[in-house]
Amino acid sequence: MMLRALLLSLLVSAAPLGFAYAKTYALVVGVDAYPYEVSLDGAVKDATDVEGALRRAGIDQMATFFDAAARKDDIRAAWTGFVDAAGEGDTIIFTYAGHGAQMPELVAGDEADGLDEFLQLPGFDRNRAVETDHEIIVDNELNAWFSEAEAKGVHVLFVSDSCHSGGMSRAFSGKTRLAQAVTVKLSPPSQEAVSGAQVKEAQFRQVTVLAASLESQPSPEVIIGGEARGALSWSFARAVEGSADRNEDGRISRIELEDYVFANVKHQSEALQIPNFTPQVPRSEDEVVMPLTRSVAGAADPSAQKTKTHRPVRETGWDGKLALTVSGSQMVLESTGGSGVPYRWDAASGVFYTPNGDVAGENVNEGNIQVVVNKFILLDFLKAMASQNPGTVSLTPQRDIYAAGDRLAFDAPGSGYKNMIVFNLANTGEVQLLDVQAEGTESREFKLTDLQVVEPFGADHLIAISTNEPIDAIGAALASKNVDASTLLQLLMTRIDGTDTSVAIQPLYTREKL
């Protein structure tokens, strides 16, 4: 026992002091129930998911505020307590899931668009804005709060799963975290709103802000695992659980968090939103935004064995079934009956809808409906793999929906893996092989430079799988042009499920030209 204690002592003393002894505090806010506003469905689920992930990461200095408990004075007091307790090199994580909104700027000339953004707490009533303005947190006030931490050398990571403005081109049946704008001019609700206006984002050196979307986009609640959720909160929770820690050093760098979150928000929102980091460019290649304190001992020893594992997809909750409602047909379909918000097939019109309300396929009839169902079962499997190890692919130009005749380019960058398979899951359910790269020292970039949108319209999904596992059998099956989504699923389950494999997914939604 004495030898073990001595070795542990040496390991900790060998670690950089700021890492070995740094503390992390977390303030988590989630609001669904708005007495004076349209309530949300998934914000509290998001907040509790993030809370659980943070606790599993080893963070026990935490304050949580859900629904009616989310009062500004109490949140402010918790923030002040953390700043007072924290020292140089410590980290405060502040996450918010709920409504965001805009109002006329409180300090003249402070905002380029003349509008301040704010987090809307349950006690705010825009019909009594002057009387209840103490229950909003304005962006300027957040600047003042963050400045307090920065002055002590405390790192701040603020994750805001809310939205402020903009519109979407695609049909969408869910809720957005965008409250109606306040139109009356309010007096500054606090002195902090005035002092914070003097602080510009560029002045921060230890503050990182991760927002659910650009200001030109709303943040929708999307269906993940059958439930309404925020794609940013879901992705952040998975990142904190360790999925973003690619080099397994017990810390999540800004680059690791960015790569993980960008990919999974795209996957889970079906390309409806793009997260926004501030600053846009990492301050350094090794900038750390969050330590995973459970891993201090292992991270202090460079020779410590890596413990990250890749779970089989069934262990993530995937069950190989699709929740589906059918109207206009009595056909019995295989592998349906899953739980949660369902896909929908209207046999009379031939339209197949996603749980989010998007048109996923047209001209879907009894002859091809099973093939379409099989496609989305496979897609859910691939999303579950991607949540553990996401890859990168892109479409240019970047849009949430493309019209007939539009031209675009698809890019699947090379990776550090030996093998890569690129294919398309068409809206018809067909599997279309695009490229196979087997047994190289490193996969090469794959490009399609002049794609054109043509009928049939709906949702295609371009997939890139990168792995060091043998892929000859998978490639041969795809090259035969006889493999369908169900067969491909079985090939992937028996050959790469649970392995160190990267999956990238690029949704491609199309429609007729308006």
CATH number at residue 89: 3.40.50.1460
Relative orientation angle of helices 485-495 and 472-479, to the nearest 10 degrees? 170
The distance from CA 119 to its chain's CA centroid, rounded to whole angstroms, is 20
When pLDDT is averaged across residues 40-60 and rounded to a whole number, the result is 96
CATH number of the domain within which 387 lies: 2.60.40.1930
Relative orientation angle of helices 139-151 and 72-85, to the nearest 10 degrees? 20
- Render 337-401 in DSSP notation, one character per residue: --SSSPEEEETTTTEEE-TTS-EEESS--TTTHHHHHHHHHHHHHHHHHHHHSB---EEES--S-
pLDDT at 308 over 70: no
Residue 30 lies in a domain: yes
Residue 330 lies in a domain: yes
Hey, how many other C-beta atoms are within 10 angstroms of the C-beta on 394? Answer: 14
Residue the block writes with tokens 């009595």: 330
pLDDT at 438 over 60: yes
pTM of the model: 0.90
pLDDT at 314 over 50: yes
Pair (469, 405) in one structural domain? yes
When pLDDT is averaged across residues 202-211 and rounded to a whole number, the result is 88
Pair (100, 221) in one structural domain? yes
**Which range has the worst mean pLDDT, 210-219, 232-241, 272-281, 489-498?**
210-219
Residue 388 lies in a domain: yes
CA proximity to 281, closest of 202, 188, 360, 368: 202
Planar angle of CA 42, 425, 386, nearest 5 degrees: 50
Relative orientation angle of helices 369-388 and 254-269, to the nearest 10 degrees? 170
Pair (247, 114) in one structural domain? yes
Bridge-partner residues for 361, per DSSP? Answer: 352, 458
Pair (242, 101) in one structural domain? yes
Q: Look at 404 and 197; give whichever has higher pLDDT.
A: 404
Residue 305 lies in a domain: no
Chain segment 453-506, per-residue pLDDT in tens? 999 999 999 999 999 999 999 999 999 888 999 999 999 999 999 999 999 999
Q: What is the pLDDT of residue 263?
A: 96
Residue 1 lies in a domain: no
Q: Give the C-alpha separation, 58 to 64, whole Å.
A: 16
Residue 331 lies in a domain: yes
Which of 266, 300, 334 lies at the terminal end of a domain, its last residue? 300
pLDDT at 297 over 60: no
E runs forming strands in 190-287 = 207-211, 221-224, 227-230, 251-253, 276-278
> For residue 475, what are the contacts with CB-CB under 8 A and spacing of at least 6?
421, 433, 436, 438
Q: Label residues 94-119 b or e (16+ Cβ within 10 Å = b).
A: bbbbbbbbbbebbbeebbeeebbbbb
Q: Given pLDDT bands bounded at 50, 70 and 90, which one contains residue 307?
A: low
Pair (370, 296) in one structural domain? no
Q: Given pLDDT bands bounded at 50, 70 and 90, which one contains residue 59?
A: very high
Pair (181, 108) in one structural domain? yes
Percent of the chain with pLDDT over 70: 90
> For residue 428, what are the contacts with CB-CB under 8 A and spacing of at least 6?
361, 368, 371, 372, 456, 458
Q: Which structural domain, as residue segments, surrounds residue 366?
A: 313-511
Pair (283, 431) in one structural domain? no
Q: What is the pLDDT of residue 190?
A: 78
DSSP 243: I
Instruction: Provide the 3-class DSSP secondary structure of residue 122.
Output: coil
Pair (443, 484) in one structural domain? yes
Q: Given pLDDT bands bounded at 50, 70 and 90, which one contains residue 15?
A: very low
First to last CA, the chain: 74
Residue the block writes with tokens 């969050």: 290
Pair (320, 290) in one structural domain? no
Pair (151, 197) in one structural domain? yes
Which of 250, 275, 300 lies at the terminal end of a domain, its last residue? 300
Q: Give the C-alpha separation, 250 to 299, whole Å.
A: 5
Mean pLDDT taken over the chain: 88
Q: Give the C-alpha separation, 111 to 396, whole Å.
A: 31
Chain segment 129-154, per-residue pLDDT in tens? 989 999 999 988 999 999 999 999 99
Percent of the chain with pLDDT over 90: 70
Q: What is the pLDDT of residue 44?
A: 98
**Which range has the worst mean pLDDT, 2-11, 96-105, 405-414, 463-472?**
2-11
The tally of domains found in the chain comes to: 2
Q: Given pLDDT bands bounded at 50, 70 and 90, which one contains residue 253?
A: very high
Residue 14 lies in a domain: no
Q: What is the pLDDT of residue 472?
A: 94
Instruction: Provide the 3-class DSSP secondary structure of residue 291.
Output: strand
Pair (272, 414) in one structural domain? no
Residue the block writes with tokens 């068409």: 426
Pair (347, 198) in one structural domain? no
Quick one: which H or E segment has residue 461? strand 459-467
Residue 211 lies in a domain: yes
Which of 243, 267, 300 lies at the terminal end of a domain, its last residue? 300
Q: Give the C-alpha separation, 361 to 368, whole Å.
A: 11
Q: What is the pLDDT of residue 1?
A: 32
